[in-house]
A and B are shown apart, each in its own frame.
Chain A
């Protein structure tokens, strides 16, 4: 290529994957530019505090509540999924997604600098080795073109970048292996009082289902939030926790703000601003308020030769529906990376006329079956990070041939997720005409015993669950709104059924009271084999441009490069052919390190 380009790499999206790729490539001396669709934000801590105040003042405290809706780069909201009316799932017609069901897609993401890590929970579980070859082992789901051991060194890099707290001795279950002598950067996050009690009450417990018996136990969860550093990390070099961007003394430990989702007030929980700041300090340029609208490419060779984007200026009045002023520009580079999120990546490729039929297909999430109840004594709900432990035992087994595996997440915030506690209890108390000390006592007695379980049900990648576009559905800038077709299969419903049975036995085992009661009018409610079930989204949107061996079965190869566009790399959850039962952020962070390495090699061969 004779034409001199200003940048070696253009990345679309300033979330965790874009940030990692940018930072790694800048480290290697490449010139990198990131296009970010979200509203311009500095790295000053004051700008972050503005999110916090927005959260405080928002009456509906959903995951995107701190991050203002922006009609130039709209984001889906969990409230866009409405109730079920006459057996049919309803949706907010003004919501960002255009959903055609039949099942509701209930997960969301954040279109702002830092991406969805601004509101992630911080769970950093590695995938199980079996998750990478699920098709071979269980005739279910798909195989990856790489395996756990290929990814191991990159998991380590991801755990360093995010700053993961865990005790390695507790994490080697279900085939997960670590390099000899490996320790996590920080000691495990202290487990909640609830965790400790559940550990005690489930000692030696078993789950019996379909004539089989499974042992299980409560295990602390690796988390991307700051704890006390492990002096043995990195062969005795230790680790320095990374505090808030713009205020590094803050957030060096999790302080128990109990608001990881939607916002950690001190940034003790990792968010991608931390990596972005490092990247910018190395010379990476972030162009904000630039929404990529088309990937330009040579129709014959497939080679990408530019990204068209819309740069908007006015963002004061974002929900007004007013027409937005924008200018269109094209940016060029040697290599391109789409890191805009699974849905946005797919949408962008479809909008650009990419021909690979797999684009947009295989949309996955973790449907989360929620159950809730009372412990037999007060355990002090609403304290600490959202979840500090889980039950991993049922994440793997031969049963995966018949039904989905699940991971059980133990929730520290009472019934906040399933019922809207403690506001709901308060409303109940007040409508019973309770006042004064009786009201206080009522609140204390009901809420302090509360906890919930979340069963993250593995979902298979299927062609019919997909993101597509249609000329009729566009946003204020004229970009496509994602169209979602989504359903869950009997395989997954069988998993939910097992989960529900587990929950029933669990509450008996711990001597608690199962208070789970599903509202048939709420989105996500189903009845299956006589059992009422209700699930929510996990925010784990994946699989819209999966990796595989060739273009017939996938969009990218194992190097994360598009089969049909050799200078275009994709990163993020869209590349995952299976998600197993792990929250995907750690895995896509690891894959981003792997992708960055491949892009670096590729660029170097070019420069020779």
Chain B
């Protein structure tokens, strides 16, 4: 039955949304701890990767909506608990909320490393909405390949109209995305769905056998190396150049990376770990409140109120400024003089507060 088969694809696409989201808090944390002037190259590289992860999340939502599914974003299990355990077939590693450092960049490279690596995320190791991101020992690329195959099978069996029967008004349009490579694709048939998946995979891993992503081929944009290679460039402080091979180190121009010019953030900050009433606690709670409000707005954005995306983006800017304040506040009684940081913790709707400075969710304001 189509409905039953579809449910499986729904589940995979929800997994995709969570997978894409799960990398954003760690990337953002590293990004927040450096500044645009002393680490210009890394700042821009991480910024662009984060933007593209958000694009991937949006693309996954568009596909899910196109086939009549429902993205779940504002949900207690949507944010993994950091450090999140990434369990690959050949090794395991933690992904935490860490400051910018060689270590955190290495972790990011692990996340984005193309092919070969088998993902084997089982049990409760990533606490996503479905409690697990089970990719059945596949790479991320293979996982998305499966989704493609599933969609193709369904279309073959039931026809495109039956499969892509989602409300077209739920699609997020290309005009809403900017600041990174790629483009939002409005998904309404098999072709656009497959294209959207190719964009996700190529931006992360690189187009097959190259260091570059597919943006040049797909969108005629300037050539850009895929995420893994962008992190690699930071790590070895050198850019790739045309002709460099995926398995070999970059041979382009040297870039300046100031590993010391970072905010000395505590690992995996949690609001509850700061004393009640302390400035660190107050700001950490503000951040969590904001992040949860943000997820709510995203949830509504992807479920029929696409005009709210303007507000969600506005909230992302606010997050950056509160994170910057947290990173100026000393953790009480910390012997190494570490500073607080953004915890990215979920606050249930009943406990959410409205602040004077917070962008509200009101829709009528957008008229």
Interface residues of A (CB under 8 A from B): 45-46, 49, 53, 187, 226, 228-229, 231, 241, 247-250, 252-253, 255
Indicate whether A249 sits within 8 Å of B176 (C-beta atoms), given known contacts A49-B36, A49-B37. no
Q: What's the Cα separation between A410 and B48 when bound, in Å?
A: 35
The answer on a CB contact under 8 Å between B179 and A252 is: yes
B47 to chain A, nearest CB (A): 7
Asked if B175 is at the interface (CB within 8 A of a chain A CB), the reply is yes
Specify which of B37, B178, B179, B317 lies most central, judged by the most chain A CB atoms within 10 Å of its CB.
Answer: B178
Interface residues of B in 167-181 (CB under 8 A from A): 174-176, 178-181
B222 partner residues in chain A, CB cutoff 8 A:
248
In chain B, what residue has the closest Cβ to A444? B356
Q: What's the Cα separation between A205 and B3 when bound, in Å?
A: 58
B175 partner residues in chain A, CB cutoff 8 A:
187, 228-229, 231
The answer on a CB contact under 8 Å between A253 and B37 is: no
The answer on a CB contact under 8 Å between B40 and A249 is: no
B179 partner residues in chain A, CB cutoff 8 A:
249-250, 252-253
A247 partner residues in chain B, CB cutoff 8 A:
44
- The 8 Å CB contact of B47, one of A49, A226, A249, is A249
In chain A, what residue has the closest Cβ to B47? A249
B47 partner residues in chain A, CB cutoff 8 A:
249
In chain B, what residue has the closest Cβ to A247? B44
Interface residues of B (CB under 8 A from A): 36-37, 40, 44, 47-48, 51, 174-176, 178-181, 222, 317
B51 partner residues in chain A, CB cutoff 8 A:
249
A229 partner residues in chain B, CB cutoff 8 A:
175
A249 to chain B, nearest CB (A): 5
B178 partner residues in chain A, CB cutoff 8 A:
226, 241, 252-253
The answer on a CB contact under 8 Å between A228 and B37 is: no
Beyond contacts A49-B40, A231-B174, A249-B48: 8 other A-B pairs, Cβ-Cβ < 8 A, are: A46-B40, A49-B37, A248-B222, A249-B44, A249-B47, A249-B181, A253-B179, A255-B317
Q: What's the Cα separation between A156 and B222 when bound, in Å?
A: 26
Q: What's the Cα separation between A250 and B45 when bound, in Å?
A: 12
A126 to chain B, nearest CB (A): 25
A249 partner residues in chain B, CB cutoff 8 A:
44, 47-48, 51, 179-181
A165 to chain B, nearest CB (A): 12
Q: What's the Cα separation between A250 and B44 when bound, in Å?
A: 9
Indicate whether A228 sits within 8 Å of B181 (C-beta atoms), given known contacts A45-B40, A49-B36. no
A454 to chain B, nearest CB (A): 27
Q: What's the Cα separation between A46 and B41 when bound, in Å?
A: 10
In chain A, what residue has the closest Cβ to B365? A193
B192 to chain A, nearest CB (A): 15
Q: What's the Cα separation between A45 and B36 when bound, in Å?
A: 11
22 A-B pairs, CB-CB below 8 angstroms?
A45-B40, A46-B37, A49-B36, A49-B40, A53-B37, A187-B175, A228-B175, A228-B176, A229-B175, A247-B44, A248-B222, A249-B44, A249-B47, A249-B48, A249-B51, A249-B181, A250-B44, A250-B179, A252-B179, A253-B178, A253-B179, A255-B317
Q: What's the Cα separation between A250 and B174 when bound, in Å?
A: 17
Q: What's the Cα separation between A73 and B317 when bound, in Å?
A: 39
Q: What's the Cα separation between A561 and B51 when bound, in Å?
A: 48
A379 to chain B, nearest CB (A): 13
Q: What's the Cα separation between A250 and B51 when bound, in Å?
A: 11
A281 to chain B, nearest CB (A): 12
In chain B, what residue has the closest Cβ to A186? B175
B180 partner residues in chain A, CB cutoff 8 A:
249
A241 partner residues in chain B, CB cutoff 8 A:
178
A253 partner residues in chain B, CB cutoff 8 A:
178-179
Q: What's the Cα separation between A255 and B178 when bound, in Å?
A: 11
A231 partner residues in chain B, CB cutoff 8 A:
174-175
Q: What's the Cα separation between A440 and B204 when bound, in Å?
A: 47
A255 partner residues in chain B, CB cutoff 8 A:
317
Q: What's the Cα separation between A353 and B37 when bound, in Å?
A: 48
A248 partner residues in chain B, CB cutoff 8 A:
222
Specify which of B48, B51, B175, B317 lies most central, judged by the most chain A CB atoms within 10 Å of its CB.
Answer: B175
In chain B, what residue has the closest Cβ to A248? B222
In chain B, what residue has the closest Cβ to A44? B40
B199 to chain A, nearest CB (A): 16
B181 partner residues in chain A, CB cutoff 8 A:
249
Q: What's the Cα separation between A255 and B310 when bound, in Å?
A: 11
B317 partner residues in chain A, CB cutoff 8 A:
255
A46 partner residues in chain B, CB cutoff 8 A:
37, 40
Q: What's the Cα separation between A583 and B51 when bound, in Å?
A: 36
Q: What's the Cα separation between A252 and B51 when bound, in Å?
A: 13
Q: What's the Cα separation between A570 and B132 when bound, in Å?
A: 69
B37 partner residues in chain A, CB cutoff 8 A:
46, 49, 53
Q: What's the Cα separation between A45 and B43 when bound, in Å?
A: 13
B349 to chain A, nearest CB (A): 27
Q: What's the Cα separation between A249 and B181 when bound, in Å?
A: 7
B40 partner residues in chain A, CB cutoff 8 A:
45-46, 49
Q: What's the Cα separation between A247 and B40 when bound, in Å?
A: 10
B73 to chain A, nearest CB (A): 23
A267 to chain B, nearest CB (A): 13
B43 to chain A, nearest CB (A): 10
Q: What's the Cα separation between A229 and B174 when bound, in Å?
A: 9
A229 to chain B, nearest CB (A): 6
